């Protein structure tokens, strides 16, 4: 009886210690998260703004861009299977540009995540490939950080172009009869980005007024 009693006490004591440890650990982790969350969120916001500034000049708008957005559900035209966001730039209250999350589903190594800015004048302001698995040293020139031509990165050729300049059917590489350059040996990556950018431009042009009129933070 004494042995069983001692064993039971030991088990209870061990269980109590484990519960206390779990509660304490959870409380510490929660406090740590609460303390670091503002810094993490601020860092994420800064990262988004750095990216947006690459495709849209900060001088072109004066609103709080990250707070002025609409959320999309699945949108095949933009390559968004799970939806995404569109940020709206305004200057003195008037529409200035749309910054759209998008994707090219047909890259050489899979999906290529994109951010495309389209001005209120219907011209592409800038394009960036923000996530991809294209072949290093070959197809990854779609990312200007990896493009060996630092003076004139390949992806810069879309800036300033509108549907009035290049018809929708011509938003592909020259090899396919389109308007845009590509690099020998890496046509697929360039084709995917060129076509996706054209689709984004079409979407932004067709839906511009409704996108700017929607309530901020709404899902459309």
Question: Per residue in 43-55, pLDDT tens?
Answer: 556 878 999 999 9
pLDDT band at 33 (very low <50, low <70, confident <90, very high): very low
Return the half-sphere exposure (C-beta side, CA atoms, 13 A cut-off) of residue 1: 0
Residues 105, 197, single domain; the answer is yes
Q: Are residues 193 and 146 in the same domain?
A: yes
Do 48 and 64 sit in the same domain of this protein?
Answer: no
38 and 119 share one domain: no
**Is 193 inside a domain boundary?**
yes
215 half-sphere exposure, CB direction, 13 A CA radius: 2
If we measure between CA atoms, which residue out of 87, 75, 103 comes closest to residue 197? 103
Do 37 and 65 sit in the same domain of this protein? no
Q: By residue range, what is the domain housing residue 86? A: 59-213
Report the run of H or E that residue 30 belongs to, with start and end: helix 2-55
**31 and 87 fall within a common domain:** no
Same domain, 70 and 101: yes
Whether residues 108 and 153 fall in one domain: yes
Cα–Cα distance between 172 and 192 in angstroms, integer? 8
Q: What is the mean pLDDT of the chain?
A: 88
Same domain, 5 and 87: no
User: Given 55, 77, 97, which residue is the final one in a domain?
Assistant: 55
Q: Indicate whether 176 belongs to any domain.
A: yes
DSSP string, 148-184: S-SSS-GGGGGTT-BTTTS-GGG-SBGGGT-SB---T
Domain count, the chain: 2
Question: pLDDT tens, 119-145?
Answer: 999 999 999 999 888 888 888 999 999
Could you tell me if 56 and 126 are in contact, meaning their C-beta atoms sit under 8 angstroms apart? Answer: yes
User: Is pTM beyond 0.85 here?
Assistant: no
In a domain, 220, yes or no: no
Statement to judge: residues 119 and 34 lie in one domain: no
Average pLDDT over residues 212-219: 96
> Cα angle vertex 52, ends 51, 55, to 5°?
100
């Amino acid at each position: 009886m004494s042995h069983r009693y001692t064993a039971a006490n030991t088990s209870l004591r061990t269980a109590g210690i484990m519960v206390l440890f779990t509660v304490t650990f959870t409380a510490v982790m929660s406090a740590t998260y609460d303390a670091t969350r503002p810094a993490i969120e601020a860092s994420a916001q800064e990262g988004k703004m750095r990216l947006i500034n690459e495709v849209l000049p900060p001088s072109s708008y004066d609103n709080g861009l990250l707070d002025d957005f609409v959320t999309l559900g699945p949108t095949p035209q933009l390559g968004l299977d799970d939806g995404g966001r569109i940020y709206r730039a305004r200057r003195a209250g008037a529409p200035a540009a749309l910054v759209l999350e998008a994707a090219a589903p047909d890259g050489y190594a899979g999906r290529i995540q994109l951010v495309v800015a389209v001005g209120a004048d219907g011209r592409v302001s800038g394009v960036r490939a923000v996530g991809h698995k294209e072949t290093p040293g070959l197809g990854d020139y779609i990312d200007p950080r990896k493009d060996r031509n630092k003076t004139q990165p390949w992806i810069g050729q879309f800036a300033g172009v509108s549907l009035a300049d290049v018809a929708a059917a011509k938003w592909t590489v020259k090899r396919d009869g389109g308007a845009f350059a590509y690099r020998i040996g890496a046509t697929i990556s360039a084709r995917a980005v060129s076509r996706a950018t054209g689709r984004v431009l079409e979407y932004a042009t067709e839906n511009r007024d409704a996108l700017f009129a929607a309530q901020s933070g709404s899902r459309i």
